[in-house]
Amino acid sequence: MDRAVLWRRLLAEFLGSGFLAAVVIGSGIAAQQLSPGNVGLELFENAAATAAGLFALILMFGPVSGAHFNPVVSFVDAAFGGLSYRDAAAYLVAQVSGCIGGAVVANLMFARAAVSISTKHRASGAHWLGEVVATIGLLLVIFSLARTRRGRMAAAAVGAYIGAAFFFTSSTSFANPAIAVGRMFSDTFAGIAPGSVPGYVGAEVLGGVVGWFLIKALYPGVTPAEAADVVVPQIDEASSDPAGSNGIVEARAPAKARRRERT
């Protein structure tokens, strides 16, 4: 399969990461304004918006870049041969810069200073363990679907998992070094203090390593072709089939044949 050219994939990762940060931070600000003082309801609103937004963003940008929006996903994908390490490094730059840009836009949308460094400390062993668990679970969802050729379900599955992990992890499931860096630039409900970011990133990287081993144990034989479909199948630019590898056009062909048979 011939993927989209690198600049187009990087643009998709930058925009997708930016929108993701804007969704997470913007919905957190809105939740504080709509439900002041009710932290449980604020978290629910933030989680629901993030889950729904992630679902839409994966559908929007996935056919171009795979919709990683996450350096851990990109480098684990590279470890399975689905992406070159050089491309993964380029993805990382696009993802981090996109998340920072998305944080700035979210601040501005709610008439706040473009950049306000967060003072919300999240540095504890419980938070770090939560990030390890959240990252492992995210990788297992993504790669189990790719290995079993159910990648078209990834948008819903990833959105549902992250929405749930907001509540079942003590860290509210960042599971993404790029979003951890981006959220540092907003002193709001979804922010994280700069001093807490290294611990979060380290925990997420550790979760990525453990996740890689668990994927190898649970789903042996992940091929580069299967890994190339992470998070969702991408457009094959060399094919005349506009649906690429996602099977949409191919699925319509038998239906057309049946209609011809009936006539």
Q: 53, 131 in Cβ contact below 8 A? A: no
> How many helices (H) does the chain have, and how many strands (E)?
10, 0
Quick one: pLDDT band at residue 239, thresholds 50, 70, 90? low
Q: Give 4 or 115, the one with higher predicted confidence.
A: 115
105: pLDDT strictly greater than 70: yes
Using CA atoms, how far apart are residues 153 and 158, in angstroms rounded to an integer?
Answer: 9
Buried b (16+ CB within 10 A) or exposed e, 13-22: bbbbbbbbbb
pLDDT of residue 1: 60
Superfamily, domain 6-232: Glycerol uptake facilitator protein. (1.20.1080.10)
DSSP 221-261: T--HHHHTT-SS----TTSS-TTGGG-HHHHHHHHHHHHHH
Delimit the domains of the chain by residue range. 6-232
Element (DSSP H or E) covering residue 162: helix 154-168
Buried b (16+ CB within 10 A) or exposed e, 146-168: bbeeebbebbebbbebbbebbee
pLDDT of residue 18: 98
Percent of the chain surpassing pLDDT 90: 86
Q: 15-73: per-residue pLDDT in tens? A: 999 999 999 999 999 999 999 999 999 999 999 999 999 999 999 999 999 999 999 99
- From the list 81, 84, 91, 86, the residue with the least C-alpha distance to 216 is 81
Pseudo-torsion of CA 49, 50, 55, 61, nearest 10°? 120
Output the pTM of the full model. 0.89
Lookup: tokens for 35: 């439900």
Spell out the residues 6+ positions from residue 66 whose beta carbon is closer than 8 angstroms to its own. 9, 77, 83, 228, 229, 230, 231, 232, 234
Spell out the residues 6+ positions from residue 14 whose beta carbon is closer than 8 angstroms to its own. 94, 95, 97, 98, 101
Using CA atoms, how far apart are residues 34 and 36, in angstroms rounded to an integer?
Answer: 6
- From the list 96, 90, 93, 20, the residue with the least C-alpha distance to 58 is 20
- Cis omega before residue 222 (within 30°)? no
Using CA atoms, how far apart are residues 194 and 208, in angstroms rounded to an integer?
Answer: 22
Q: 177-207: per-residue pLDDT in tens? A: 999 999 999 999 999 999 999 999 999 999 9
How high does pLDDT run on average in the chain? Answer: 91
6: pLDDT strictly greater than 60: yes
Q: Kindly state the average pLDDT of the residues 78-83.
A: 96
Range with the lowest mean pLDDT among 95-99, 149-153, 158-162? 149-153
Q: Kindly state the average pLDDT of the residues 122-149.
A: 96
